[in-house]
Structure 1
Amino acid sequence: MTSSGREDETRMRLLDAAGEIFSGKGFHAATVREITKVAKANVAAIHYHFGSKDRLYQAVLEHAHNEALRRYPPDMGLAGNATAEVRLFAYVRALLLRLADKGRHAWFFRLMAREMADPTPQLAAVVERSLAPANAVLRAIVAELLGPGADPLAIARCAQSVVGQCRHFSIDRPVLTRLHPGNDPGQGGIDAVARHITRFSLAALHNYQVCDFTPPHLEPHVGDLF
């Protein structure tokens, strides 16, 4: 193996080891010494390959997300002339597959859950470089389904409503199976859940612009909850 090949292998071992440790302990509790021990690398390897623990953490987040997108791209290889409805199904199915992936980078979503609960300064770069491009694909689909002149805020909220369903069916699965004994919401597998989320979302999106709902006055004031 060439020196370049050995360096690449060491870098990947560091990323994998750091991902497991960061997802289990969080950024602050994880130590450089522990990561390099698990990676079977020299303590100086993190500085050599990434510059710092902070940059290693950012590299871990970006690498895992980009690898998940490579395996399950938002368009799932569809032709460019696919309808918005079909593209929505592909997007939902791909996201469900990424959420359910128990492979090499299964720790990614544990790590992101920690990041959501206790954001680090690295989150902004990960959102800009990795999350935003995929979300732009979904917003474009939603905008097309809502029709011309759709409000940008409505597009953003509808897009995140689609994502919210995917996360709920995947992340809350242990709760859902107990809430619905004998009628597991995940029955039929990922494709069945993807079809349901797509049907539910299409019904909402096709009627979103014509649905005029004015909520009654409730206490406490809705605005006080956020």
Structure 2
Amino acid sequence: MAKQSTRKLPGRREDGATTKAQILEAAGEVFAEKGFDRATGKEIAELAGSNSAAVNYYYGGIDGLYGQVLLEAHRRLLTYESLVTVAEGPGDPREKLRSLIGLLARAVTGSARSSWALGVLGREILSPSPAFYLLLDKEILPKKLVVTTIVGEILGLPHDDPAVTRCALNIISPFAMLVVGNKQIFTRVLPGLNPAEPQTQNEIVEHFQRFAMAGLEATASALRSAH
């Protein structure tokens, strides 16, 4: 296998916007493979077909670059706009939540598993960096609010009610586990989660939807009994 410093991303052009994008793409690959602590600006620049000064010029250094890579990784998994489109679209809250779960499940079990985005996010979840708070403010919290608002509508509670928060945790946690889990090890321990075939992926998506909706129905029933 060739040394990483000798690889260069294809399609290099000499305009600033493309150079900036090339650096981001190269950084995603390097951070996914090595983590933030072991990556260097020189290695990333060489992979991008640029020079170390470009990392500082476009991103203010490797710290700023890593923060932008984190944001891009989360957007590649699921964009805020796609969540809002579902939330503001037709259908009742249960249908909307099923759609949101489907979007997330297909992103985590589909082609995104072979991209650097999940590798970067998985490392960040296991060992948060100072840039995590940027990710939290810019991507995680806004998206969480969309999900908890829909869950709250299903339960008839405010989005920040503790019961809604607990339900959101149960809904999101399986996907966080899939992001963190090493694909080879994870599918060996739990072979039924290997979405090698489209039909298998469909079954996984439907299971996550069914499990989440059943849990919400049980929670709603318990809340009615308590009140």
TM-score, structure 2 as length reference: 0.78
Please list, as runs of the form range in 1=range in 2, the aligned pairs for 1:42-191 lying within 5 A after superposition. Answer: 42-70=51-79, 73-74=82-83, 80-102=89-111, 106-148=115-157, 152-168=161-177, 171=181, 174=184, 177-178=187-188, 184-185=192-193, 188-191=199-202
Q: 1:166 to 1:27 in 2, by over 3 A?
A: closer
Structure 1 residue runs without a partner (length 5+): 213-226
Report the alpha carbon displacement of residue 109 of structure 1 after superposing the two structures with TM. Answer: 1.6
Question: Aligned pair count?
Answer: 207
In the alignment, which residue of structure 1 is the partner of 2:210? 199
Report the alpha carbon displacement of residue 52 of structure 1 after superposing the two structures with TM. Answer: 1.3
Structure having the larger proportion of residues in helix: 2
Distance 1:23 1:180 in 2: 23
| Percent of matched pairs sharing the same residue | 28
Residue by residue over 1:30-89, the C-alpha shift from the partner in whole angstroms, topping out at 9 and shown as x without a partner, is 111101000000221011101111101001111222243349923565762321111111
Contact 1:76–1:94 (CA<8 Å) still a contact in 2?
A: no
In the alignment, which residue of structure 2 is the partner of 1:28? 37
Structure 2 residue runs without a partner (length 5+): 1-12
Contact 1:74–1:91 (CA<8 Å) still a contact in 2?
A: yes
Distance 1:68 1:22 in 2: 16
In the alignment, which residue of structure 1 is the partner of 2:28? 19
Give the 3-state SS of the residue equivalent to 1:73 in structure 2: helix
Residue by residue over 1:178-223, the C-alpha shift from the partner in whole angstroms, topping out at 9 and shown as x without a partner, is 4566xx25573333222221221111111214438xxxxxxxxxxx
Q: Which portions of structure 1, spanning 4 or more consecutive aligned residues, are displaced by more than 6 angstroms? A: none
The alignment yields a C-alpha RMSD, in angstroms, of 3.0
Q: 1:69 to 1:103 in 2, by over 3 A?
A: closer
Q: Which amino acid aligns with 2:56?
A: H
Q: 1:43 to 1:186 in 2, by over 3 A?
A: closer
Q: 1:177 to 1:59 in 2, by over 3 A?
A: closer
Task: Tell which deviates more after alignment, 16-25 or 75-84.
Answer: 75-84
Distance 2:134 2:141 in 1: 10
Task: Tell which deviates more after alignment, 85-94 or 8-17.
Answer: 85-94
Distance 1:192 1:102 in 2: 16
Q: 1:32 to 1:143 in 2, by over 3 A?
A: same
Distance 1:135 1:76 in 2: 15
Give the 3-state SS of the residue equivalent to 1:81 in structure 2: coil
